[in-house]
Structure 1
């Protein structure tokens, strides 16, 4: 599904059945607006038609909840993922019992990106000539890699590589990862199902994303590459280009949690919590006003001193926020540089 208007973003989306499947259980979403957009890829599972139904139900609920919500984008995105989870659960009865879907969703709000992730579909960022994987798979083999029991190469061909440890529809409260990071002009983002990233090597993804083709042609080349390597699974590629720099939103961006996915209510509760810095600022204002009333001769000095402290606190807070944003792309995630001899873009038809 796709609809769009003039925006500082350009995207291309393609989903393909692949060479060895008869039904496409992947689905993609690209909705653009004047201030940003909502993008998502879902990879359904559970029987001949159940996975296709789960993926499309999830994206419908995600877009409806997010686009019609009135809360700040981080909270709206978390609630939209939960709505998608409940929608899949409601339909997972009878012949559809046990169905589910992965989900990777990206909400762009002016100069920031908000990423929500459940399962083993992935998000990548190409900035300059470096490719950053923005998500860690919620799967059995990924956990074994993190524990040092498998290498990345062994995991790629492991018989249990398709076993996910987290998906929409599995339980009433979804577990997800949600974090935000600042965008730069020229950034290229990609969301994909494991039918692409599980088949095409990351250095080749980096090369193809760096060819400079428009997003729609880039998505086509990525799908072609997966199919040229056998197309063992459904494959979906969604490419988004950031056309120009925009200011960051006024709200604080959620930081990446080091311990993996958390329950949605825990995440939202943490977002609602008041900042200690806010209490400090309010306390400073209170004592300044009380001091001005009690010591009227020195009231001007007291108020000037309080204003100076508040300005210093605001400056320190802004610098702290900027430092956190710089760490929003975790160093632990793999960075891939374009290979010295990149793929020839004319070889994929």
Structure 2
């Protein structure tokens, strides 16, 4: 049994969106994983932080179910290894192992060539909170009603939008697995807030379609985390829902 690090509540929803035939997103909440699901309402769970807890979203790439296999493998490996993670170095090593495993699987099955997945999440431990990502899924810290992006987008720089809408691209410069020739380098950092805090994680099915200001407004106006997550999903659906949508709202408390 680990040290009492308080508790974390996670409210999650993952959905195929309005256009895609399947959901290639997957999420991990401690020892729990959800992959390939089409949830019609958010689910909430409370987990003790006696041992380290990983909460993350993965957005599969590759089509023909290959992306779904990659994202599901990533979240299962994070669920298995989460309690043994200690900080940035162990997160970095785990993500590199997952990258190698996905590439090895793709190399053995021609139909899965090039499959990969993004990942973005947090590791909550008794010693602190750590964020990580590969690709363009995002982790934000929610502080004083503002969403502060912690993750670093692995996508090319684009000129700012003139109409205020999110500027988006489907191209990413690295993923777990995938067809990139260069070595994958995860982004990992320590959250400046060591104890209680709140975070939002999402696939680009949300962040590509809903502005940061609109996400902040929805969270501030909601009377519960379930309502906030439901309304964030609804905003993405109203903005075309052209991609899979995954949203995780995470709150760490002292007890």
Q: What TM-score results when the alignment is normalised by the length of structure 1?
A: 0.60
SS at 2:122's partner residue?
A: strand
Structure 2 distance, partners of 1:9, 1:210, is 20
Q: Which has the higher contact order (CA 8 A, sep 6+)?
A: 2
Structure richer in helix, relative to its length: 1
Post-superposition offset of 1:30: 0.7
What corresponds to 2:10 in structure 1? 11
**In 1, Cα distance between the equivalents of 2:120 and 2:56?**
6
Gapped runs of 5+ residues in structure 2? 31-46
After the TM superposition, which segments of 4 or more aligned residues of structure 1 sit over 4 Å from their partners?
152-155
Q: Is the 8 A contact 2:136 2:152 kept in 1?
A: yes
Query: 2:54, 2:78 within 8 Å by CA — same for their partners in 1?
Result: no
Q: Measured at CA, do residues 23 and 153 of structure 1 come closer, stay the same or move farther in structure 2, by a change above 3 Å?
A: farther
Which one has a bigger Cα radius of gyration? 1
1:163 aligns with 2:171: yes
Change (3 A) 1:215 1:172: farther
CA distance in 2, matches of 1:232, 1:66: 32
Indicate the residue corresponding to 1:332 in structure 2: none
Pick closer, same or farther for the CA change 1:167–1:65 going to 2, 3 Å.
Answer: same
Paired position in structure 2 for 1:218: 228
Residues in 2 aligned to 1:121 and 1:40: alpha-carbon distance in whole angstroms? 10
**TM-score for both structures, normalised by structure 2:** 0.81
Instruction: Give me the CA root mean square deviation.
Output: 2.4
Shift of 1:157: 5.2
- 8 Å CA contact retained: 2:132, 2:151: no
Q: Is residue 94 of structure 1 aligned with residue 93 of structure 2?
A: no
Q: Which structure shows the higher strand fraction? A: 2
Gap regions ≥5 residues in structure 1: 1-5, 246-349
Q: 1:186 deviation in Å?
A: 6.3
Matched residues in 1 for 2:199 and 2:220: separation?
11
